[in-house]
Amino acid sequence: MNLKRLSLVFGIALALGLAAWAQAGGLEALLQSIRALLGEKGGQTFLDFAPIGDKTLETSVPQELPEIGKGTAAPGATLLSAVKAALSEKSVSIEQAFLLPPKEAGPVGNEFQEALED
Amino acid sequence: MHRLLTATLLCVVWVTAALASGENDTPMGASTVSLNGIARGTVCKAGDSVDWWKVYTEESTEIVVFLDGVGGDNDLYFYNGTLDLEAQSTGSGSDEVVYGGVRKGWHYIKVYRYSSGCSDYYLGVLSADVSGYLRGTGDIDVYRLYMSAGTTYWIFLTDHSATFDPDLYLATSEHVIAESDNTGNIDVIKYTPSVFGYYYIAVGSASGSGYYWLFVGSR
């Protein structure tokens, strides 16, 4: 009886020890991966950098994003003209990693729209 | 005695294997990602090719679900609360995105490792920070955003119109530093500023008029 109890306690202790070891090992590996990820991706963008044109200003009132930023500094005329220029010089669609075409046709696409509740 | 030890060892092996492959391999064991949160995970073709996540929305809203992975080919699937597939993004890279309107409730997300090897990833679920309307080609809305140096920002712009094509710009007070002019219903800019301060997000109509939704996530 005592031997059984001892075996049970030993077994549970072993299981808990192995579980803790697996978690700690996995966590360390994950942390290393994330560190590498952060190192690799610093400053990376999925964008192109468009040349700036000088076109006539068309004003637009700046708005604060609801959760971010305080105070106001209106965008300069240069900014708006640069955006205007970029809009009119729309280039061939840029290949962005997030927007690559699907490998194979699936039953649904990227966009969904759930019907509103009654 | 031997039976007891064998059973114990089997339990140990099972527990170890379960922990090593992750606990979110099925919808039942889905990990929770908070709305407007960006979680991280790892998928490996061998042994842990699927991660399940779930997110709760407290009301009907527009959302973007994105997967920002490293290396190889990951896929993203989006399900409603009864696990009906609603959208999928299965491009040949490691980054994927789905978007649209959802009702209140739980939603499930599956991250799948399509190619060999492993991939660490960020998974973000963002609700719209703001929505707006552009009145015809050339109309521009401008938003201001304080950005921290070294923080990565994901900025998404979506719409649901076939005749409206808004584009997305990130700028300083004078210069456009990044643009996304995809012709579909979604644009994205990912940017990690090296200098903190105020930046401008501009949304302009390349053609047509319509409603748009703007999302900003950071980590």
Query: Same domain for B151 and B64?
Result: no
Query: Same domain for B112 and B145?
Result: no
The order of strands in the sheet holding B210-218 is B130-134, B210-218, B153-158, B186-191
The nearest alpha carbon in chain A to B75 belongs to A102
In whole angstroms, give the CA distance from residue A36 to residue A32.
6
In whole angstroms, give the CA distance from residue B110 to residue B26.
9
Residue A100: which of B139, B41, B76, B55 has the closest Cα?
A: B76
Note the pLDDT tens digit of each residue in A37-65.
Answer: 333 333 333 332 232 333 222 233 344 45
Helix (H) or strand (E) holding B12: helix B2-21
Last residue of a domain, one of B101, B127, B153: B127
B4 inside domain: no
CB B124 within 8 A of CB B215: no
Query: Same domain for B118 and B144?
Result: no
CB B43 within 8 A of CB B121: yes
Query: Same domain for B140 and B103?
Result: no
DSSP A80: H
pLDDT value for B27: 96
In whole angstroms, give the CA distance from residue B43 to residue A32.
15
Query: Same domain for B32 and B116?
Result: yes
A33 Cβ under 8 Å from any chain B Cβ: yes
CB B51 within 8 A of CB B43: yes
CB B177 within 8 A of CB A50: no
Q: Which domain holds residue B103?
A: 23-127
Q: What count of residues does chain B have?
A: 219
Provide the whole-model pTM.
Answer: 0.73
The nearest alpha carbon in chain A to B42 belongs to A30
In whole angstroms, give the CA distance from residue B158 to residue B213.
5
Query: Same domain for B186 and B207?
Result: yes
Q: What average pLDDT is seen over chain B?
A: 89
Note the pLDDT tens digit of each residue in B49-106.
Answer: 999 999 999 999 999 999 999 889 999 999 999 999 999 999 988 999 999 999 999 9
CB A18 within 8 A of CB B15: yes
- Pick from A4, A12, A83, A118 the residue to mutate for testing the B interface (most B CBs within 10 Å): A83
- Pick from A98, A103, A108, A114 the residue to mutate for testing the B interface (most B CBs within 10 Å): A98
Query: Same domain for B141 and B114?
Result: no
